[in-house]
Structures are given as structure tokens and as C-alpha cells.
């Protein structure tokens, strides 16, 4: 029986599952509510490229029958999920925000993370927006237009997983799959006020392989850390299609949420040693969150990681990847690309193998330095971004001296280069009511530690509740 006083779109995945178990409402109720919300928000925020309503309701009805029998298929049976339109979803075209990809084709394969969700009974609402090939930190594309911020539609949702972040923030499904090659789950999470985790590289298998190589991660985007841990328990399973996938994790990420932060050694770097100009309102909100970690028992020290901005090396890796992804396109197709993407593809095509290997050297040294850093500190805490959401449809804020999106994301892309787990946790808003995120970073393979610290902040009331 459905509790008509319950807004199902406001519930976390954990709470939905509890409701299914108790018979308070069904997967059909939750799916209908999520689809109605998705249709209602779409004209204003443009979070979706495709809603698969008929398929979702059929999946929800099958799930409801399994729950009725007391035989759920898995950990997320009946939970509505969205998939970024970079990842394959069986039965739906994956166009990656590009007019150069045709809808024709069989589209009969799931990405590994999608396949695991399907095995666990998830309900797929549809595909969410991305900039073309996920190339930048905001979400707009020649194919799908501009995705807008749920807190202020005149501003960007961030990117490249902007549609996923907006959908979760507005109740169109509590779980979302995003991808992150330079901050692409953490940037929109910070701008939209949700949680997102970029896991250790290889923790979530990826297929087909990204042209951006080992910078690209698949990660959960959710209401809170508990939902992210649940989602990671499902998708952190090896897949034979990804030769770089890690072996199974040693235990459940959900089970590892308890324990708090007492005794953890936390390094707080407010500006990477003065390298980043952080807006005062952002800095103040982040500092309060760090102070709360100390109150909860963490040993907090203001300390900066020992590296200078690796943006040039990142650009070499990123631009060459972009050139590779568009290498097969003819002159007419190249004209269809986002102009900014076309520019970086041209730059990437001019790079040599020696340029690329020099960037790899920078990356390896950065990884060594961060490995040593985590000998002394369990967690590194920074702002996720130095600013809050700016005007929609722009790659950089108006009046910025930066030309590319990397100019305003200096806290995120270094940890794609080092392959470390990094999460964005919503910890407050600025004077305009725009969300601020704090970034938690741990040593490689310590995804559990990032999730545990984030969950502790939720439990302490520092972040909005997911249920």
C-alpha cells in the first residue's frame, strides 16, 4: 500500500528499499513518481536526452512482483537509476552529445556498471546529458543544448555529468551513473548540491575503453554517501571486457560506513599553498566543514600536497585523447563538433609521442608525491571548486582570464592523474543559495575511507540528509 503523504522522489535509495521491504510502497510507485518528476523538470533544466518510461515501468512491475514474493533480485531491486549518455545502455542509443553519431544500430550491449545494475534489479529511467564526448566541465552540446542548475536555471549544472547531477538533485531517481576524467562527477555534484565519488581507477570497470585512457573513471552520483556506498557495492565488480579492472573489493562499502573519523589524520589544504584563488564565501563554508571534522575527532592539520599545478601535462593527455576520439571524422563531420572541442582536438593532433610520454612522466611523479603524502595523512581535504555555479552555456565564467574549463577546476583533475578516490560532499551554500562542495581525497584503494568520512559528515548534520 502506498503512503500518499510520502514524496517518493525525496527518498534515498536506502529508504526506498526499506519501504519496499516493509510494503509501504512499491517499485512501481517510486518509478512513476521519478518519471513524473523527470518530465516536469526537463523543460527547465534539460537533464535528460532520453526517458525510457515504458521499459522502466515494465522493469518496476517485475521488481514489485519479486518483492511481493520476498525474492528481490539484488541490492538495488526496484530503485530508479539514470545513466549518463557516455555509457552503453541496452536498447537505447548512446550518442555522447554528438551530432557525429547516428542512432542507427543494434545498441544491444550494456556497459559493465549498467550490466551489474541490471543484474541487481535496478530500474533504468533513461540517459542523462553530457557535453560532446564528455570533453569539458560544463554540460552543453550541439546535439542536446544546455543543462541548467537546479538551484538557479540561469547557471550551469557543471559537467560533464551535469544531467546526472541535476536529475539526482531534483528527485528524478536517487542513483545515477556518471563518468569522471578530470572532475566530471565532482564538479556537477558541487554545483548542484549532491554527493559524488570518483573511485580508485579500475574499481568500476569501463567498456568500451575511454579515448582519454586511464584518466577516465565511472562513479556514483547520489543523494548521500550511504547511497553511493550501496551503488558501489553493486558496480565495483570485475568485468572481463576491462583488462585494467581491479579484483573484487575486500568487503562491503556499505558495511564500512560506520566508525566515524576519530583518530584520522586529515590534511586541510584551502588553496594548494596559495596556488588557487578561492572565493571567500566558498572558503568559509569549506573551513566550517573541516572544523566539524576536527570536532568529530579527526586530527586536522593545515598542510598542502607537494606539487605545482600539473595542468600542462593534463592538457597533453586530455587534448590528445580528444584528438583520438574524433580522428575518424571527415571535414564535414568535424564542422558539426562543439567549436571548443574542435579547438582542443586540433591542439591534440599536433602533439607528438614524446610530448605524451613527457606528460606521463609528470603524472608518475605526481602519483609518487601523493603516495608519500598519504604516508603522513589519511585524508586530504580541499574545496571541490574555488567558486559556485556561473552562467549557463559558458565554458568559463564571464570575465575570467581562463580560456579552458581546467582554469577553474584546479582541485579536481590532479586526482584523475593520480587515480586516487576523491569525493565531493555538499556542505553548505553561498549568499546566493548556490551549493558549495568539499573534496575528500584518500590514497589509492581507500575508497572506503572517503565514503566513511563523507558518511560521518552526513550523520553529523553537516550535509543535507538523503532521506
- 161, 130 in Cβ contact below 8 A? yes
Q: Pick from 176, 3, 163: which is nearest to 80 by CA?
A: 176
Task: Find where cell 547516428 sits.
Answer: 102
Instruction: List the catalytic residue out of 12, 26, 84, 127.
Output: 84
- 200, 175 in Cβ contact below 8 A? no
* Whether residue 63 lies in the annotated active site: no
Instruction: List the catalytic residue out of 98, 161, 184, 210.
Output: 184
State how far the Cα of 417 lies from the Cα of 344, in Å rounded to an integer: 19
The helix, strand and coil proportions of the chain, stated in percent and rounded to the nearest 5, come to 40, 15, 45
147-181: burial string, b at 16+ Cβ within 10 Å, e else: bbbbbbbebbbbbbbbbbbbbbbbbbbbbbbbbbb
- 48, 42 in Cβ contact below 8 A? yes
- 452, 264 in Cβ contact below 8 A? no
Tell me the chain's radius of gyration from C-alpha atoms.
Answer: 21
Instruction: List the catalytic residue out of 63, 160, 269, 424.
Output: 160
Cell numbers that stand for 345 in this block = 582536438
State how far the Cα of 214 lies from the Cα of 120, in Å rounded to an integer: 27
H and E: helices and strands count for the chain: 14, 15
Label residue 9 exposed, middle or buried (CB < 10 Å: 0-12, 13-18, 19+). buried
Alpha helix locations (H) across 296-330? 311-325
DSSP secondary structure string, 339-391?
Answer: HHHHHHHHHHHH--HHHHHHHHHHHHHHHHHHHHHHHH-SEEEEES-SS---B
* Whether residue 84 lies in the annotated active site: yes
Q: Where are the beta strands (DSSP E) in 170-213?
A: 175-180, 195-198
* Whether residue 113 lies in the annotated active site: no
3-class SS of residue 104: coil
Catalytic residues: 84, 160, 184
Amino acid at each position: 500500500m502506498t503512503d500518499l503523504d510520502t514524496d517518493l522522489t525525496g527518498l534515498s535509495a536506502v529508504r526506498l528499499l526499506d519501504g519496499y521491504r516493509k510494503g509501504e510502497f512499491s517499485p512501481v510507485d517510486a518509478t512513476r513518481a521519478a518519471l513524473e518528476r523527470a518530465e516536469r523538470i526537463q523543460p527547465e533544466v534539460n537533464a535528460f536526452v532520453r526517458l525510457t518510461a515504458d521499459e522502466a515501468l515494465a522493469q518496476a512491475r517485475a521488481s514489485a512482483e519479486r518483492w511481493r514474493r520476498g525474492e528481490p533480485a539484488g541490492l538495488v531491486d526496484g530503485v530508479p537509476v539514470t545513466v549518463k549518455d557516455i555509457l552503453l545502455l541496452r536498447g537505447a542509443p548512446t550518442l555522447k552529445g554528438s551530432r557525429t553519431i547516428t542512432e542507427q544500430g543494434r545498441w544491444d550491449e550494456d556497459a559493465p556498471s549498467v550490466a551489474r545494475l541490471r543484474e541487481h534489479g535496478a530500474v533504468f529511467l533513461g540517459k542523462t546529458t553530457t557535453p560532446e564526448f564528455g570533453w569539458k566541465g560544463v554540460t552543453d552540446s550541439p546535439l542536446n543544448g544546455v543543462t541548467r542548475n537546479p538551484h538557479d536555471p540561469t547557471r550551469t549544472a557543471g559537467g560533464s555529468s551535469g544531467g546526472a547531477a541535476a536529475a539526482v538533485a531534483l528527485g528524478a531517481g536517487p542513483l545515477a551513473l556518471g563518468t569522471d576524467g578530470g572532475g566530471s562527477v565532482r564538479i556537477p555534484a558541487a554545483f548542484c548540491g549532491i554527493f559524488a565519488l570518483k573511485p580508485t581507477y579500475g574499481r568500476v570497470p569501463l567498456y568500451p575503453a575511454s579515448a582519454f585512457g586511464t584518466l577516465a573513471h565511472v562513479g556514483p552520483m547520489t543523494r548521500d554517501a550511504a547511497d553511493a556506498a550501496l551503488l558501489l557495492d553493486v558496480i565495483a565488480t570485475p568485468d572481463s571486457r576491462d583488462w585494467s579492472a581491479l579484483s573484487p573489493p575486500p568487503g562491503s562499502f556499505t558495511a564500512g560506513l560506520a566508525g566515524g573519523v576519530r583518530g584520522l589524520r586529515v590534511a586541510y589544504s584551502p588553496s594548494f599553498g596559495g596556488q588557487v584563488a578561492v572565493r571567500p564565501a566558498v572558503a568559509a563554508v569549506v573551513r566550517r566543514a573541516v572544523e566539524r571534522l576536527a570536532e568529530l575527532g579527526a586530527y586536522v592539520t593545515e598542510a598542502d600536497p607537494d606539487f605545482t599545478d600539473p595542468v600542462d601535462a593534463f592538457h597533453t593527455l586530455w587534448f590528445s585523447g580528444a584528438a583520438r576520439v574524433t580522428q575518424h571524422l571527415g571535414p564535414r563531420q568535424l564542422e558539426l563538433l562543439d567549436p571548443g572541442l574542435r579547438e582542443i582536438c586540433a591542439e591534440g593532433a599536433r602533439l607528438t609521442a614524446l610530448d605524451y610520454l613527457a606528460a606521463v612522466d609528470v603524472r608518475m611523479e605526481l602519483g609518487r608525491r601523493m603516495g608519500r603524502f598519504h604516508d603522513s595523512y589519511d585524508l586530504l581535504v580541499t574545496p571541490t571548486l574555488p567558486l559556485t555555479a556561473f552562467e549557463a552555456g559558458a565554458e568559463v565564467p564571464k570575465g575570467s582570464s581562463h580560456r579552458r574549463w581546467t582554469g577553474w577546476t584546479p582541485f579536481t583533475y590532479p586526482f584523475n592523474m593520480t587515480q586516487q578516490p576523491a569525493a565531493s560532499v555538499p556542505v553548505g551554500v553561498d549568499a546566493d543559495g548556490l551549493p558549495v562542495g568539499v573534496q575528500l581525497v584518500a590514497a589509492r584503494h581507500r575508497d572506503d575511507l572517503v565514503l566513511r568520512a563523507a558518511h560521518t559528515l552526513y550523520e553529523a548534520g553537516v550535509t543535507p540528509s538523503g532521506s
